[in-house]
Structures are given as structure tokens and as C-alpha cells.
Structure 1
Amino acid sequence: MAHAPRPTVLVTGAGGRTGHIVYNKLKERADQFVARGLVRTEESKEKIGGAADVYVGDIRDASSISPAVRGIDALIILTSAVPKMKPGFDPTQGGRPEFYFDDGAYPEQVDWIGQKNQIDAAKAAGVKQIVLVGSMGGTNPNHPLNSLGNGNILVWKRKAEQYLADSGIPYTIIRPGGLLDKEGGLRELIVGKDDELLQTETKTIPRADVAEVCVQAVLFEEAKFKAFDLASKPEGTGTPTKDFKDLFSQVTSRF
């Protein structure tokens, strides 16, 4: 039996908290994947180990990401605009902190134009699948996340998701709930659609579990042409998810 060649998988946003976990998971499974990462700065590259398979590029500039995308089989998109808190907020005074985005780093530029650039570059490179990590809450235009820094972050994320779904490329759109910095592999994962999980008690998930679902999505046909919300039961309740083919098979929604 000839072994199928290992797919080359690029994770963008590899310097971010979830992206870094995905990159490490791909590296750890060198028998299954050829890993690549894309980060925005040399500083980010050094922070995650500075390996030759980490490319530096700006997703807002289509030409700067083409070297990273060339020759890949799958793309996992984990780039996201990051709101910053305005200085001077004093939690003891009550009220709410105010947020802003750096110039040029608004959700429209990062989550829409930047993701569109990645999808276009991947399509031109003949990529076989794109896994895109969005966020729950996108069905509600009045979601509080949209008001942060007047960025409408979920609106722009949703626009990029729709662009991917319309691209013709096999896709997997993952919309996690609130992200926890906790150990992965210990919880039962739950899939949903249309933000229904936001009405329940189970609307959070460890980053490590989101990262695992991203990696597993590349392995299973059952994950393709699907979009779903993702959360987890509390640790200690239910059975930790090990059968990802079954998890993806539960998803019926294309968007």
C-alpha cells in the first residue's frame, strides 16, 4: 500500500493564543501533516519558536501572504481583529471599559478584507479545504461584541464566512462560544447552529478543544461544506469527545 502524501496545512494567526495551539498540534503530528504557520511580525515568529516553516506576512496585503500559501493543501484561518482597552479605566469606579482598534486593524480590514485575501490566495493555489474559525453571536446584529470600539466585529466575520461558503472551495466554518484557557480533551463537545447554544448553560469551550476540532476537520470528509457552533459540557459531565467523525456527522447546516 502506497501511503498518501501528508497534506501541507497552513495556520494563519499562528501567533495568537488559539492559532499557536493549532500550529503546535500540527507539528506534533508530523507523521500526518506538514505544518506551516503565518504570523504578522518577526517578533511573533520568534515567540512561537522561529522555525523555518513560519512565514511572516500581512493578511491585509494579498501579495505578502502568497509565499506562505503556495503549495498548501489546507488552510486554517485563525486571524482576528483584537480590540484594545482604552487606558485609564478604573474598575473600582463602576461603569464599563471603553475599547478601540488600532488604525488599519479594524474588523473590516482584518476579519473581512484580510480573510477575503486569504480565501482568494488559497483558491488560486488550488487548496482542497479551508477551515475558518469565526464566533458565535453572528446572527444578532445587536450583539454586544459588535459595539466594542464600534468595530462590528461579528458582522465582518459573518461576511467573510459567507464569502468562503460561496467560494466553491470545500470549507468548514467553526463558530466557538466563549474561549477558556483550560486543558483540552477532557470535555464532551457540543455542536449547534444559529446561536441556539447561546440560550443554554453550555456556551463556552477550551481553546485547546477548538484547536483540536480545526485539526480533525482536515482529516474527515464529514467536516466539509459545513458550518456549526461549538461549545462544551463542563468538565466531569458527559463523555470526553474522541470520535470526531461522529461529531462532524451530527452537523447538518451548510451555513
Structure 2
Amino acid sequence: MADSSPITVLVTGAAGRTGQIVYRKLKERRDKFVARGLVRTEESKEKIGGADDVFVADIRDAEKIVPAVQGVDALIILTSAVPKMKPGFDPSKGGRPEFYYEDGLYPEQVDWIGQKNQIDAAKAAGVRHIVQVGSMGGTNPNHPLNSLGNGNILVWKRKAEQYLADSGVPYTIIRAGGLQDKDGGVRELIVGKDDELLQTDTKTITRADVAEVCIQALQFEEAKFKAFDIASKPEGTGTPTRDFKELFLKCTARF
């Protein structure tokens, strides 16, 4: 990839909490990137500025994604099913809230079919690199996240990751720890595999750091054909990560 001309990057789920950060960061780095976003509704498009480079499409409909991926060099997949809390939960009474997914927006439809559609469309359009953001916990079918709304979200995410790894398109699969809404760039990032980080005290990461890793992955060959878990040390311990090439070199697993 020539360093001179900027690469065109499509971010899907661009109105989500992490997607918004990726879209904004790409926009700020005009010398390197041409940003595009994909969102599900006109309302979401307005939420992130309503620019012409934001496409509105339902990822569950394969045909609708096609225009957004034309002429794209790289795709960052940040779409995800979102469980909603059932009304009537009273924290003062103890117990746990119950969750549900809206009809048609279960993980099977969003995280499996929706991601598969994106991968197929990107491959057909000649996209050269796909970054897919998932979650740690996928090695454990009994992970609590799977029971939320009976959605099996990690099972379906992992199925989509496997589909991407088998697609032949160069990929980077990023399985993030617990996401925090805090400033990025101030912590030391740690990579692992097979959920080993879940056995440690360092299993969270800021959305801003995940967003940065997505964008950095597009710039290094060392990030391709890799899948890794990522978290960070607490702020104030370790050295904030600056050398992303070095970070990707530490990732050795293909899946």
C-alpha cells in the first residue's frame, strides 16, 4: 500500500459508541485516510454529523451494503447486537436486571448474518483488509454474556470471526475486554489469546484505545492474519503504548 495516497476506510456501526470514535479519528487524519461510515438509520446518520460519506443501510440485507463498499480499501466492522434492559427493574430490591433483544435484531441476525453480509460484500468489492472487533469470552460457551436475552452473542460473533478468517481476505480480529468510556492513549495495552487475560486483573480497555488499535492495524503488515485479545493496564502503571508495530508483533495467533 503506497504511503502517499490516503486509503479509503469504511466503518460500519459508525454511530455506535466505539464506531463514532473510529469515524472521527479517521476524519482527523485526512493525510492518511478517507473516511466512510455506515449506519442503520437516518437518525444515526444525523447523530454523527450527517455527512455525504455516511451511508444508511441495514446490514441484514446483503444488497443494501454493496454501494457503501465500492472503492473501499479497508473495512472496520463495529456493528453489534445490543441487548436492552427490560423495564421495571428496581436496583433497590437486589436481584439482576433482565435483558432482551428487539425482534429481528438478535445476535444471530446482526453479529452473524449481518457480519457475514459485510464480509461477502467487501470481498466481492476487492477490499484489501478487514478489521473486525469482537469481545473476549468467546472460548466459553457458558459465558454470562451469552445468556443475556438468550442471544448467545459471543457464539455468533465467533462464528463470524471464523467466517472472516476463512474468507481469504487479509484480516485483523480484535477481541476487546470490558469497554470503558474514558480517555485513550494513556495506558499500556496488553495482548493475549484464548481468553487468558480474563484470568488476570487486567481485562478492561477504553473504547478510545480500541478505536486507535483498529486504525493502527490498517497501517502495519504485522497486524494482518492475526486474532488477539486486548486489554490495558490501569492508568499510571506501565508505559502508554505508542509502538503499535511492536504490539502487533506480540500477536501470534491466526484465530
TM-score, length-scaled by structure 2: 0.99
SS for the counterpart of 1:237 is: coil
- Find the counterpart in structure 2 of residue 193 from structure 1: 193
- Find the counterpart in structure 2 of residue 67 from structure 1: 67
Structure 1: distance between partners of 2:183 and 2:226:
26
- Find the counterpart in structure 1 of residue 26 from structure 2: 26
SS for the counterpart of 1:134 is: strand
SS for the counterpart of 2:25 is: helix
User: Per-residue CA shift, 1:208-233, capped at 9, x if unaligned?
Assistant: 00000000000000000000000000
SS for the counterpart of 1:38 is: strand
One-letter identity of the residue aligned with 1:62: A
- Find the counterpart in structure 1 of residue 171 from structure 2: 171
- Answer yes or no: is 1:112 the counterpart of 2:151: no
Matches within 5 A, 1:140-155: 140-155=140-155
SS for the counterpart of 1:130 is: strand
- Find the counterpart in structure 1 of residue 16 from structure 2: 16
Structure 1: distance between partners of 2:3 and 2:176:
34
Structure 2: distance between partners of 1:65 and 1:16:
17
Query: Is the deviation greater in 63-72 or in 219-228?
Result: 63-72
- Find the counterpart in structure 2 of residue 98 from structure 1: 98
One-letter identity of the residue aligned with 2:201: E
Instruction: Using the TM superposition, give the Cα deviation of residue 87 of structure 1 relative to its aligned residue in structure 2, in angstroms.
Output: 0.3
TM-score, length-scaled by structure 1: 0.99
One-letter identity of the residue aligned with 1:220: F
Q: Which consecutive residues of structure 1, in runs of 5 or more, have no partner in the other structure?
A: none
Structure 2: distance between partners of 1:161 and 1:21:
22
Structure 2: distance between partners of 1:84 and 1:12:
21
One-letter identity of the residue aligned with 1:142: N
RMSD over aligned Cα atoms: 0.8
One-letter identity of the residue aligned with 2:186: L
One-letter identity of the residue aligned with 1:18: T
User: Per-residue CA shift, 1:23-54, capped at 9, x if unaligned?
Assistant: 00000000000100000000000010001100
- Using a 3 Å threshold, how does the CA distance of structure 1 residues 3 and 76 change in structure 2: closer, same or farther? closer
Structure 2: distance between partners of 1:247 and 1:208:
17
Q: Which consecutive residues of structure 2, in runs of 5 or more, have no partner in the other structure?
A: none
One-letter identity of the residue aligned with 1:157: K
One-letter identity of the residue aligned with 1:26: L
Structure 1: distance between partners of 2:88 and 2:7:
48
- Find the counterpart in structure 2 of residue 51 from structure 1: 51
Instruction: Using the TM superposition, give the Cα deviation of residue 3 of structure 1 relative to its aligned residue in structure 2, in angstroms.
Output: 5.7
- Find the counterpart in structure 1 of residue 133 from structure 2: 133
Structure 2: distance between partners of 1:199 and 1:233:
14
- After superposing on structure 2, the runs of 4+ consecutive aligned residues of structure 1 that deviate more than 3 Å are none
Structure 1: distance between partners of 2:43 and 2:80:
18
- Find the counterpart in structure 2 of residue 241 from structure 1: 241
- Find the counterpart in structure 1 of residue 222 from structure 2: 222
Structure 1: distance between partners of 2:239 and 2:184:
13
- Using a 3 Å threshold, how does the CA distance of structure 1 residues 129 and 3 change in structure 2: closer, same or farther? closer
Instruction: Using the TM superposition, give the Cα deviation of residue 6 of structure 1 relative to its aligned residue in structure 2, in angstroms.
Output: 1.2
Instruction: Using the TM superposition, give the Cα deviation of residue 72 of structure 1 relative to its aligned residue in structure 2, in angstroms.
Output: 0.1
- Find the counterpart in structure 2 of residue 38 from structure 1: 38
One-letter identity of the residue aligned with 2:182: K
Structure 2: distance between partners of 1:169 and 1:104:
28
One-letter identity of the residue aligned with 1:58: D
User: Per-residue CA shift, 1:155-206, capped at 9, x if unaligned?
Assistant: 0000000000000000000000000000000000000000000000000000
SS for the counterpart of 1:60 is: coil
Instruction: Using the TM superposition, give the Cα deviation of residue 5 of structure 1 relative to its aligned residue in structure 2, in angstroms.
Output: 2.0
